[in-house]
Structure 1
């Protein structure tokens, strides 16, 4: 509650003070325009407002603002009081500047929670927002737009990009957002590549779909172009939305639930080996000289992302293209839509 130390208590001050006292909320009185901080008489009368100790400040000269800030912070709940729901799905929204990340979050929440502007780079930090939909808990993480390194000039923006990359690391599901009016560019590929390398469940969301002139072939053409440009994410679902018209925005949350479940999926060892053995019968491992190359046994050793170990007699001779074939067979049989799969080869001697 800012008051004028030069003018003293006014009738309006008393009216506001009465409202604040009835609110039973913590109040800090800032007595502004104080020139001599040693003379309590300049602000002593504000004790009469009944709102505790007035704190003398000079906004013009920036004096004593540290004490004011300390007083405000003293009313904050300790960090330990803010507990993240362990069952909430953390969804990070990443993409180039101005693809509509903040507009999407605000459309979901139905309120202006984060700044929306036509100027790229308005969101400076990762902003966490707890959110509930259809009985499910989510934490939406809106991040600063990620530019090419050569175009990042301000130190604050460099910090924001680092925070955005950290947000990807702590998310359960990452929404890679693109602009329908611009298509996939090199920076989209870099961002998607980082998400893939981090092994995160993800959805490719194409925003601003309302700006595209459409016919019956438009979506198929977009699908084809995106699959061509992001070949390494062939497993990711694609969704076309408009944050402005709110079209299909809640479908994103339904897909997030689904890919989060796929990300945590575990396959029994018996089922896994059956599929791998059938795949090897259909397409045997090539060559290997005197001894045939064999995958003797396979097992799932981890989730988020699903991680599989294949024990082979000559792992060094198993080509990466054969692992890709096995990955495709696993996806064909078990799904794993929206999640990367990690494949590891280990050596194991065949029993005579």
Structure 2
């Protein structure tokens, strides 16, 4: 049997780290996220009328007048004690400003220059970084009149825009490019990306692992609120990228970051906590939930984080079933393992609950760790690699049909309407997730319990734990059926 658990091919690093960083900063509710979405060209950041929607800084790739930049949306700058939520949000914004090649200092032209604008404008001037003053919400006469007041901030000539209506963005883009440092000369690319098609195993091989298309392995971190998802992401990245604290529901938007580990690149997405649908009543939380589900759908491997001290909750099982329905690979992450008193009993209780309530993902890999202390977190990415390998695996048609013959001899298909089903042939249609097609006479009438028997046999024989396995049925058509009815 060929070894399919070889490391995946290292991918070429994305060039985003070398791009100039443009940071949008300002007090809350001046339209920073709306401007961010306009510049990146899609609705990437959550936008609402409520002040303080953005908490974690969000990055996006923007092409401005042909110039690629890393655009960062930040939380609103507010005066607050460092240990408070608003203090932690301000610290995150200051860390983003520190790496900026250009700061877009955004104000609300309709509200005029406020004392908070003046205070943070003085702070921005002390950073000794290029600054472009953006007077947002400048549509109409009242907004245009207030633009003149912004000269008092000492940040140069303001650029009036209306991010909501798309007015003035062309002028703003020209100004951004003019304020950026000169673009370095282009070098010959060392890596030419190409899409590598999936290939079937050759005769005599049972497995072949198609090489992944170039690009990072996409990982989504999901779970209920306060399970430690953001703390886990900070631990993986080795920096305080996400705002964390004892308050549940701190993360509102899906935040992605790149991580290099052992020659491979991962795109990790931290998501907002998923609660029961009946408990979601605010429009902002509905948007957060939608963003989390969208991140789950786009991932290759989903890390489901559980609070090990609380065990498996029904909502955790609902999230796992959603992962299975979307065809994503899954790794179960038991966080706060250092706070568990009886670890053997806790692990047994969790695995027993999963075996009963989550039979469609039998053999799901489990990793225990403490994201707060970092103990055991190093075991997570190797398991993610392994699970991604299984998700990409292909099995030869010959091996499948030898296996099918043995399964039919062990337990013959049941009678349906007094007639026996004849299962003749099986092949794998695709991977990501592994999907198989079973052909036979009246195969589409195969009972669900026999389908489960075959799926469980596929998992055990070909070692497919923790990933959804799809089994599609194709019956053969009787060419004389129409003649018999005449």
TM-score class normalised by the smaller sequence: 0.7 to 0.9
**1:1-352 to 2 correspondences below 5 Å:** 20=128, 26-28=130-132, 43=151, 53-55=156-158, 71=172, 75=176, 86-214=214-342, 216-288=344-416, 291-348=419-476
In 2, are the aligned partners of 1:264 and 1:306 still within 8 Å (CA)? yes
In 2, are the aligned partners of 1:90 and 1:138 still within 8 Å (CA)? yes
SS in 2 for 1:124: coil
User: Cα gap change, 1:286/1:30 in structure 2, threshold over 3 Å: closer, same or farther?
Assistant: closer
* CA distances 1:241-300 after superposition (whole Å, capped 9, x unpaired): 110121221211111111111111111111111111111111111235675321111111
Q: CA deviation at 1:39?
A: 10
The structure number with the bigger radius of gyration is 1
Q: CA deviation at 1:330?
A: 1.3
In 2, are the aligned partners of 1:184 and 1:229 still within 8 Å (CA)? no
Q: CA deviation at 1:43?
A: 4.0
Residue in 1 that maps onto 2:85: none
User: Cα gap change, 1:54/1:249 in structure 2, threshold over 3 Å: closer, same or farther?
Assistant: same
Distance 2:348 2:153 in 1: 73
* CA distances 1:93-113 after superposition (whole Å, capped 9, x unpaired): 111110000000001111111
Instruction: Return structure 1 stretches of 4+ with deviation > 6 angstroms.
Output: 16-19, 38-42
In 1, are the aligned partners of 2:362 and 2:465 still within 8 Å (CA)? no
Gaps of 5+ in 1: 6-12, 58-65, 78-83
SS in 1 for 2:438: strand
TM (norm. structure 1) is 0.79
User: Cα gap change, 1:73/1:350 in structure 2, threshold over 3 Å: closer, same or farther?
Assistant: same
User: Cα gap change, 1:86/1:157 in structure 2, threshold over 3 Å: closer, same or farther?
Assistant: farther
**Count of aligned pairs:** 317
Q: CA deviation at 1:141?
A: 0.5
Distance 1:214 1:18 in 2: 54
* CA distances 1:179-226 after superposition (whole Å, capped 9, x unpaired): 111111121111111111111101111111111102554433432233
